[in-house]
Structure 1
Amino acid sequence: MFFDMMPFDNLHDIPGAENAYLVGGCVRDRLIGLRPQDFDIAAPPPVRDFAEHIARRIGGHCVELGKPGRQVIRIVSGRPQVDVAPINGPSIESDLAKRDFTINALARRLSSGEIIDCTGGIRDLEQKIIRMVSDQSFIADPLRLLRTYRLAAILNFRIDTATSAAVARHADKIRNVAGERIRLELFKLLEVENACLRLEQMSRERLLFAVIPELEPLVGCLQNRHHAFDAWIHTLKVVEEMEAILNRPPRLLSAADSPALSACLKGGIPVLLKISALLHDIGKPATRKIIHTKGPVFYGHHETGAEMAEAVSARLRFSVHETRIVTQIIRHHLGPLRLWIQAEKGALSRKAVTRFFMRCETLTPLILLHALADHRGKRPRGTLPEDDFSRFILNLLTAYFTEYQERKNRRPLLTGHDLISEFDLKPGPDFKFILNRVEAARLSGEAVTRENGLEIVSELLKTCIGDRQPGIDTPSGRTKTGLPHKKRGGDRPG
């Protein structure tokens, strides 16, 4: 039943091996035919000398880790990571009884290969069940509440009824766990292809709402006629649709650009797309209003949601990079819909599309994929055939990777030096506005030469700024560039 436990097959004769054991996940994984990523060994204390024997045998060196009173020796080599820790209790059986799940409460004696199973772990592996050893394990370390669903997702096991009930009883204890530990466990869960199923289970046991309380007000938050579900069911549907998209990224109209889309989805990006889908509508309950002619509306929920998502990211210790991606996707997630509404009216210009690309920059493909999942999550799965909106999103993706990216790599038509030398303008806050207008015209294909750029500046100075110097004499109700202030608009079918 046990096979290929290198580098441990040649450790049976080292001093102390008869009372030392491989324990936990490495035993579990090998019993079900998986290759362990690391190995844990439990041995009688003190463990330093025993760890040194192993290090010499496998060609590594020891590094001492752990807290005072709980020494852990890590053996670093070119092989998988090995941690050696003291047996927790008077015997290996007492150690295993303190572990989280029966499938992790397994040990293999180093000297003989004998399997020790005192909690029924092998039976649960055969039946594909996640079962707690005791609900005391959740009290000892509440992070195990979240690990329940992560293991179920990774192994595709079901969670037994008593364990689910214990999670529900102890769910609030997860609030006592450090944010960075929760983040690590949550991200590992979201790396799995079918994580949405586990998120839904976590919400039933209230654990997900204990981890992210901002999600709970979505339950029962009714939406407008464009939605078949309340905001919470819609959120789960969007995560589900996002997973479907990630498992099979859409083929673009230009097949040559599909690799470019795939390159955008490398590393941890799929996890951040799922997090964004999970959080994208958390601003809706706070912004919900009823308008007689429209029903429920959620004006500004994208901005409110981005601010709330930033608070979630800080609490769970997301990196600056992760926080930026999640909050920007949420902040701009209505952009593609607004472009579509303009297209329906026959009023969509190339410049409007270009400005959207410029606002979102490298996150554009992620925001467009989110918009596709958001759209598909409004109705029951399978009832929404490939439609005009989906084709519109694919068109935008193709345009971004072909026209926009190709033009973006060229030099700009004008710089600030041109504004000074050609128009005798003084550097100021209007420079960025003017140069952005010229750049938008270049990227949309409306301006291709330096002379085109100079003409745009001349027209801007006449119509927006007039005879005054940029940044001076701002009229009431206008920006420093002379343009009307933006009003916070509605978001139609959110």
Structure 2
Amino acid sequence: MSLKDENLYFIGGVVRDEMLGIPSLDTDYCYEGDAIEFAKQKGLNILRENPAFGTVRVLFEDKEIDIASTREEFYPQKGHLPVVSNIGCALEDDLKRRDFTINAMAKRTTDGEVIDILGGIDDIKSKKLRVLHDKSFEDDPTRILRALKFSLRFGFTLDESTARVQKEYLKNINYDMSYHRLKKELVETFNLNSQEAYDRFTSEGIYKLL
């Protein structure tokens, strides 16, 4: 049995890491359509379903694999978990909900075609971190910590517009946010054991999130 399908894509970090030539910590899959129905039609060994998010976990070749349906998200309460909508949407709409352009690429499992509608490849080449819109940090402040983490891991810098948006948000922080998610990103960032992480955490005012 093959997991390949013309509507099944590698998504996000695994595509980015392949372009960077480094091992990926996770392999994420995204199905353009309903991933749960796809798994059933394929006869895959389903371990868990989450219809509210359109995700399914399967056992394939002795490995547990998560497959997500394409979906859109919106943030009725800024700084908290988004609300999922339009499960099974077009792949391009799913890519637009992500954090940075370098994480908003997909690679088709059948022919290896890379879908990059937001300039992720160019930003990897220029070693830039770029958010997808000016309200990105307002929607999810943990993305500021993710930006710090990615810049340290990959040697990237914030592009000019992203640096401006970050600076503006840190002047007017909405403290009604999910601190559980903030803690997770904080731990991952400082687990890099980098003096630069601490220096930038203070010098860029990121500490104000706490």
TM-score normalised over the length of structure 2: 0.79
What's the secondary structure of 1:176's corresponding residue? coil
The offset of 1:173, in angstroms, is 4.2
The residue that corresponds to 1:121 in the other structure is: 120
The offset of 1:179, in angstroms, is 2.2
Give CA-to-partner distance per residue, 1:196-239, whole Å, 9 cap, x none: 3233333343221222xxxxxxxxxxxxxxxxxxxxxxxxxxxx
The residue that corresponds to 1:37 in the other structure is: 25
The offset of 1:91, in angstroms, is 1.8
Matched, 1:75 2:58: yes
The residue that corresponds to 1:175 in the other structure is: 175
Give CA-to-partner distance per residue, 1:355-377, whole Å, 9 cap, x none: xxxxxxxxxxxxxxxxxxxxxxx
The gaps in structure 1 that reach 5 residues or longer are 1-9, 212-494
Q: Counterparts in 2 of 1:169-248, with a 5 A limit?
A: 169-171=168-170, 172-173=172-173, 175-194=175-194, 196-211=195-210
Separation in 2, partners of 1:74, 1:62: 5
- Matched letter for residue 138 of structure 2: I
Separation in 1, partners of 2:9, 2:149: 25
Separation in 2, partners of 1:54, 1:35: 28
Q: Counterparts in 2 of 1:260-275, with a 5 A limit?
A: none
The gaps in structure 2 that reach 5 residues or longer are 73-88
Cα RMSD, aligned residues only: 2.5
The offset of 1:19, in angstroms, is 2.0
Separation in 2, partners of 1:174, 1:20: 37
Separation in 2, partners of 1:132, 1:97: 10
> In proportion to residue count, which structure has more strand?
2
Contact residue 123 and residue 129 of structure 2 kept, 8 A: yes
Give CA-to-partner distance per residue, 1:232-271, whole Å, 9 cap, x none: xxxxxxxxxxxxxxxxxxxxxxxxxxxxxxxxxxxxxxxx
Contact residue 108 and residue 115 of structure 1 kept, 8 A: yes
The residue that corresponds to 2:77 in the other structure is: none
Separation in 2, partners of 1:26, 1:180: 25
Separation in 2, partners of 1:179, 1:114: 38
The residue that corresponds to 1:62 in the other structure is: 47
The residue that corresponds to 1:388 in the other structure is: none
The residue that corresponds to 1:454 in the other structure is: none
What's the secondary structure of 1:124's corresponding residue? helix
- Matched letter for residue 104 of structure 2: A
Separation in 2, partners of 1:47, 1:198: 38
Q: Counterparts in 2 of 1:300-379, with a 5 A limit?
A: none
What's the secondary structure of 1:18's corresponding residue? coil
1:46 to 34, 44, 54: 34
Separation in 2, partners of 1:141, 1:82: 26
The offset of 1:174, in angstroms, is 6.3
The residue that corresponds to 2:3 in the other structure is: 11
- Matched letter for residue 85 of structure 1: A
What's the secondary structure of 1:112's corresponding residue? coil
- Matched letter for residue 49 of structure 1: E
2:67 to 67, 79, 84: 84
The residue that corresponds to 2:83 in the other structure is: none
The residue that corresponds to 2:86 in the other structure is: none
Separation in 1, partners of 2:96, 2:50: 24
What's the secondary structure of 1:187's corresponding residue? helix
What's the secondary structure of 1:134's corresponding residue? coil
Give CA-to-partner distance per residue, 1:128-181, whole Å, 9 cap, x none: 221112223323322112111011112222222221221122235463332221
Q: Which has the higher contact order (CA 8 A, sep 6+)?
A: 2
What's the secondary structure of 2:17's corresponding residue? helix
TM-score normalised over the length of structure 1: 0.36
Contact residue 22 and residue 39 of structure 1 kept, 8 A: yes
Contact residue 190 and residue 197 of structure 2 kept, 8 A: no
Separation in 2, partners of 1:23, 1:173: 31
- Matched letter for residue 181 of structure 2: R
Q: Name which one, 1 or 2, has greater alpha-carbon Rg.
A: 1
> In proportion to residue count, which structure has more helix?
1
The offset of 1:101, in angstroms, is 0.5
The residue that corresponds to 1:149 in the other structure is: 148
Give CA-to-partner distance per residue, 1:280-326, whole Å, 9 cap, x none: xxxxxxxxxxxxxxxxxxxxxxxxxxxxxxxxxxxxxxxxxxxxxxx
What's the secondary structure of 1:38's corresponding residue? coil
> For residues 73 and 197 of structure 1, do their structure 2 counterparts lie closer, same or farther at Cα, with a shift above 3 Å needed?
same
Separation in 2, partners of 1:61, 1:149: 36
**How many residues are aligned here?**
192
What's the secondary structure of 1:111's corresponding residue? coil
The residue that corresponds to 1:136 in the other structure is: 135
The offset of 1:39, in angstroms, is 2.1
